Structure 1
Amino acid sequence: MQTKSPAFEDIANLMTNAFGAAKGVGDEVRAAARARADRVIADMDLVSRDEFEAFKMMASSAQQEISELKSQVKKLEASVKALKKKAK
């Protein structure tokens, strides 16, 4: 039969409390670092993911429209060239 020594129980309680305090400090440091990072990012004037995705869709749509307009211009240029040839 083993009995627990009061000294060992005290040491175990102290260690448990120390680990709890260390975890609390770690959580506070992590929260402070996160808040600081958020402030730095806000100061950098970065866009949000939603804004980026919206702009990406607009750019893709504009690129497609440009491609279609280029095709129309080529067809019109060919028509003008053919009309000039007939006029001669």
Structure 2
Amino acid sequence: MSQSPNRMFDEFAKLMTDAAGVAQGAKREVETAFRAQIERFMSDMDLVSRDEFDTVKDMAIKALDDVEKLEERLAALEKRLADQDEKAAPEDKA
């Protein structure tokens, strides 16, 4: 039984289509395994999301601003206290 050339080409095309389908499936499996491995690796590294990072960054900036304001208030209070001590010192000597 000899097959006609068209029948052979049809069978060959079907074989290549099946091979392409198998290759696509293998590609999906490799990608899925790779993603799972990367996700496992990332979770082990205790990384934070960008939103969490930005939130903490904003909190740190606000805290630093508050510290600067408190430092200014403290310096003003220390100056007032020093001025009061200077005024009281001459009275003590008299």
TM-score class, shorter: 0.7 to 0.9
Corresponding residue number in structure 2 for 1:24 = 25
Distance (whole Å) between structure 1 residues aligned to residue 24 and residue 15 of structure 2: 14
User: What is the TM-score normalised by the length of structure 2?
Assistant: 0.77
Corresponding residue number in structure 2 for 1:58 = 59
User: How much has 1:51 moved relative to structure 2?
Assistant: 3.0
User: How much has 1:50 moved relative to structure 2?
Assistant: 3.6
Give unmatched runs, 5+ long, in structure 2.
Answer: 90-94
SS at match of 2:46: coil
Give unmatched runs, 5+ long, in structure 1.
Answer: none
Matched residues, number: 85
User: How much has 1:77 moved relative to structure 2?
Assistant: 1.7
SS at match of 1:47: coil
Distance (whole Å) between structure 2 residues aligned to residue 81 and residue 19 of structure 1: 86
Deviations 1:44-78 (A, max 9, x none): 22233343233222212211111110111111122
Corresponding residue number in structure 2 for 1:80 = 81
Corresponding residue number in structure 1 for 2:50 = 49
User: How much has 1:81 moved relative to structure 2?
Assistant: 2.2
**Which structure has the larger Rg over C-alpha atoms?**
2
Alignment of 1:8-23 (within 5 A): 8-23=9-24
Letter in 2 for 1:23: Q
Task: State the Cα RMSD in Å.
Answer: 1.7
User: What is the TM-score normalised by the length of structure 1?
Assistant: 0.81
